[in-house]
Structure 1
Amino acid sequence: MLKKYNFKLSGGITVSYATARLPREKVFRDPVHNYIYVQHQVILDLINSREFQRLRRIKQLGTASLIFHGAEHSRFTHSLGVYEVTRQICDNFQRNYPTKTPGDGGWDDNERLTALCAALLHDIGHGPYSHTFEHIFHTDHEAITAEILTSPKTEVNQILRRVSPTFPQEVASVIQKTYPNPQVVQMISSQIDADRMDYLLRDAYFTGTEYGTFDLTRILRVMRPYKDGIAFAMNGMHAVEDYIVSRFQMYQQVYFHPVSRSMEVVLDHLLGRANELYQAGKSDESFIPHLLLPFFNHQFDLEDYLNLDDGVLTTYFIHWRQSPDEILADLAHRFLDRKPLKSAIFDAHTQQQLPHLRDLIRSVGFNTEYYTATDNSYDLPYDDAYDPKVTHPLTQIELQEPDGSLRELSTVSDLVNAIRGKFTGDQRFFFPKEMLNPGNDAPEIFQPVFDEFGGYIQNDQLIDRKGSD
């Protein structure tokens, strides 16, 4: 149990934990923001908590690090970055747009600590290889984030409760988008928020992709609070456009990279095969991943979840590479040694050929349940269709005229108007690389199958061969 602190300033004045400032601000050196400034005792205590330190052991970009070798950064560094962007927003708002009368739309700096804690902790519920892990074991990192904040068993909760008994739930409600102040919610979660701004710049830096950069300083400068949230000065429109385009390019070139998606498929199938073997009772003591058993049994608690990180899974994958089960061993080899599946784009016309392609793959000895997959990755670069009936609707980006009136971004920007409401991405069919490059040791009897399969794949596309034979 963490002891409770009383802070006394010179002269014997006692201050509350909520307002306690460090005697000297602490800084973290950062390649994106140069310095990250920590001024509150509660923020430093949260950073030093067990649950937050765990984020050092979870990669921000998951399998993308197998394509962009510099992308070894963690959820820890990203979370610090989101905190720092939020801190700068709060400083700007307090300096330039402080509230003067209740309801005037200005910034109430009493909200600062809530915003900073929500920014710092917004990703604390992510698991190892989070999105793939969620798909296999049906976890929800946002729900687990809220549980970490509100469970009395966690260090994070004990720290937050020292601010006030209701503070953990208040911070959780920001992340859940139910907090009553829309300014605080939009700082953390909107179409242009501290989370997105940090991960775009950070991911661009570590992947070495220059097109993911934008003018953060200018965007922060033109942000301003108003009664219903956050707007941007009209003269800052081009900086906002640049951000929208940068986000679009990062999704197309990094987040939707076909090899990264291929490795996610391999990871998904690897965990799926391990789960299947365990459920069928076909595992021996050398195989059993004890820290994963609560998830295989669908009876995990928060402590089980917090025991997992990327390193835990990697250790099990190394063991599984020696498994007597050929599929599990091969999938572990493919993931650990970066042997991605190949893929081809398909559409509504060529989709009908997928069953035949699976038959061809099966005929040469591959289990199509584990060596084929379909995946679609689509992103909406900008959504101007605000729908209040949606559980957690995305707010529009509002530009503010000098007279205080607001105009939605796509009504002013021809560039954004051209991409608004348009999904971008593709659908891919994943298959073993051996179908196109069988190698010299492949049985000659299978060569006609390989030739036929290759006839369907051209320039990364699945082509329509109907009537071509």
Structure 2
Amino acid sequence: MAYPGGQLSEEKVFKDPVHRYIHVRDKLIWDLIGTKEFQRLRRIKQLGTTYLTFHGAEHSRFNHSLGVYEIIRRIIDDVFVGREHWDHSERLLCLCAALLHDLGHGPFSHSFEKVFHLDHEDFTQAIILGDTEVNKVLRRMGDDFPKKVAEVIAKTYKNKLVVSLISSQIDADRMDYLLRDAYYTGVSYGNFDMERILRVMRPREDQVVIKRSGMHAVEDYIMSRYQMYWQVYFHPVTRSAEVILTKILHRAKKLHEDGYSFKTKPVHFYSLFQEKVNLEEYLRLDEAVILYYFQEWQNEADSILSDLCRRFVNRNLFKYVEFSPTNEQMKKLLELNALFKKAGIDPEYYLVVDSSSDLPYDFYRPGEEGERLPIYLLMPNGELRELSRESVIVDAISGKRRTDHKLYFPQDFIDDLSTKRATKKKIKEILEG
């Protein structure tokens, strides 16, 4: 079934710093971009608290979503069209799933989700399938079309090739966020030759494969992803901001449960505190709303909430030291907890171990949690070979998970312990030891 209106009378373009132009020819895509649920993504940062580390990282999930759409459009309109294994009738389904894949993200997504036990993927499904402008637009393609789009994003759609374009170890989502995040943070780590990768992508029955001649471009892509995670996404200063953000939300929730009387009542948080948030309430949340509360809560009577909010708003972040969860280090952590309490510093909010972990590439491990489909190379004889069997570089990092632990604390609080010199000295000895 064709979308009413079909093609726009004149192509629309978005000027984009990563892809130069994002082209929209389909009225369906143009109408989806205009929905209030998609426009909300302008008010959700792509990189959460990273702007407090890399000042240019102010870009939104709106422009990332457009970027993923553009990559998919180029793949299916320029590379796949007319090729075996590609069903061009799935074109609009692919474009919609690419555009809407991040629709359910909330403000400061991952920190927000952890505190309130939410899942942005559930809300993406709810927006697509619920009583929304997005759903109304999609239903013009047929009553079952929203369900198909939701299935592609949820990775349950019957055509695994379509799913792999948007969610795999080399998909349009990752390609756009690596290039886009590198651009806006001002680093070079995330750059790779996307043009080359797109040229050597080929459709197969269940997934996208890469011609053997493009192997080195894929190696570069995987190493770029590895570097971006450790140099940008897991940057310790960004993690410090996330720790404070998380503690603000935890403190506000606890105060509410304890019957504390807020000067600025957290009306947008009530359903979140009860973990009974509905779609309408969720869609009213964006980062402007959250930052309004943080700004106001600087003046609350509760000293912990007001201090944490001042730290976040004014970028007075926690310091950190390396931490390994060995028996010896855990004993030191317990000792620090006791010393912090003795000094009148609540360790629940001011002594935090934060861990980051990433697996840059993995091959297929049937039955294991989070199993991943590998990247396959298409050999000149038509055979498919798993990437790490051909690439020495990828073989060296395959299946190797790297984990990093940091201990975060307020250095200024410790420096101010002038009346408790013995406690201050002991704390510093442990942290510097």
Q: Same fold (TM over 0.5)?
A: yes
Q: CA contact under 8 A between 2:79 and 2:199: conserved in structure 1?
A: no
What residue is the counterpart of 1:333 in the other structure? Answer: 310
What residue is the counterpart of 2:431 in the other structure? Answer: 457
Q: Indicate whether 1:178 and 2:182 are aligned.
A: no
What residue is the counterpart of 2:396 in the other structure? Answer: 418
* Shift in Å, 1:443: 4.5
Q: Which whole-Å CA distance do the structure 2 matches of 1:392 and 1:45 have between them?
A: 35
Secondary structure of 1:451 counterpart: helix
| Alignment: residue pair count | 431
Q: Indicate whether 1:20 and 2:2 are aligned.
A: no
Q: How does 1:116-195 map to 2 (within 5 A)?
A: 116-151=95-130, 153-195=131-173
What residue is the counterpart of 2:83 in the other structure? Answer: 98
- Alpha-carbon distance change, 258 to 150 in structure 1, aligned in 2, over 3 angstroms: same
* Shift in Å, 1:445: 3.2
Q: Which whole-Å CA distance do the structure 1 matches of 2:6 and 2:94 have between them?
A: 16
Per-residue CA deviation, residues 171-201 of structure 1 (Å, 9 max, x unaligned), is 0001110011111100000011000000000
Q: Which whole-Å CA distance do the structure 1 matches of 2:413 and 2:153 have between them?
A: 45
What residue is the counterpart of 1:343 in the other structure? Answer: 320
Q: Indicate whether 1:289 and 2:266 are aligned.
A: yes
What residue is the counterpart of 2:287 in the other structure? Answer: 310
Secondary structure of 2:80 counterpart: helix
Q: Which whole-Å CA distance do the structure 2 matches of 1:154 and 1:414 have between them?
A: 49
Secondary structure of 1:60 counterpart: coil
* Shift in Å, 1:250: 0.2
Per-residue CA deviation, residues 7-33 of structure 1 (Å, 9 max, x unaligned), is xxxxxxxx9316811111110000000
Q: Which whole-Å CA distance do the structure 1 matches of 2:169 and 2:26 have between them?
A: 28
Q: Which whole-Å CA distance do the structure 2 matches of 1:109 and 1:18 have between them?
A: 18
Q: Indicate whether 1:375 and 2:360 are aligned.
A: no
* Shift in Å, 1:451: 2.1
Q: Which whole-Å CA distance do the structure 1 matches of 2:115 and 2:64 have between them?
A: 25
AA matched with 1:139: L
- Alpha-carbon distance change, 443 to 374 in structure 1, aligned in 2, over 3 angstroms: closer
Q: How does 1:36-435 map to 2 (within 5 A)?
A: 36-95=22-81, 98-99=83-84, 106-151=85-130, 153-284=131-262, 286-347=263-324, 348=326, 349-387=328-366, 389=367, 393-434=371-412
Q: CA contact under 8 A between 1:98 and 1:109: conserved in structure 2?
A: no
Q: Which has the larger radius of gyration?
A: 1
Secondary structure of 1:457 counterpart: helix
Q: CA contact under 8 A between 1:383 and 1:396: conserved in structure 2?
A: yes
Structure with a larger share of its residues in helix: 2
Q: Which whole-Å CA distance do the structure 2 matches of 1:112 and 1:444 have between them?
A: 67
* Shift in Å, 1:239: 0.0
Q: Which whole-Å CA distance do the structure 2 matches of 1:447 and 1:371 have between them?
A: 19
* Shift in Å, 1:394: 1.9
Q: Which whole-Å CA distance do the structure 2 matches of 1:123 and 1:223 have between them?
A: 24
Secondary structure of 1:445 counterpart: coil
* Shift in Å, 1:339: 1.1
Q: Which whole-Å CA distance do the structure 1 matches of 2:280 and 2:234 have between them?
A: 32
AA matched with 1:315: Y
AA matched with 1:317: F
Q: CA contact under 8 A between 1:385 and 1:421: conserved in structure 2?
A: no
Q: Which whole-Å CA distance do the structure 1 matches of 2:202 and 2:183 have between them?
A: 27
Unaligned 5+ segments in structure 2 are: none
Q: CA contact under 8 A between 2:354 and 2:405: conserved in structure 1?
A: yes
Q: Which whole-Å CA distance do the structure 1 matches of 2:388 and 2:140 have between them?
A: 44
* Shift in Å, 1:293: 1.1
Q: Which whole-Å CA distance do the structure 2 matches of 1:158 and 1:332 have between them?
A: 40
Q: Which whole-Å CA distance do the structure 2 matches of 1:208 and 1:430 have between them?
A: 26
Q: Which whole-Å CA distance do the structure 2 matches of 1:278 and 1:228 have between them?
A: 50
* Shift in Å, 1:435: 5.6
* Shift in Å, 1:454: 1.9
Q: CA contact under 8 A between 1:318 and 1:336: conserved in structure 2?
A: yes
CA RMSD of aligned residues (A): 1.5
Q: CA contact under 8 A between 1:361 and 1:435: conserved in structure 2?
A: no
Q: CA contact under 8 A between 1:344 and 1:430: conserved in structure 2?
A: yes
What residue is the counterpart of 1:103 in the other structure? Answer: none
Unaligned 5+ segments in structure 1 are: 1-14, 100-105, 464-469
* Shift in Å, 1:392: 6.1
Q: CA contact under 8 A between 2:139 and 2:146: conserved in structure 1?
A: yes
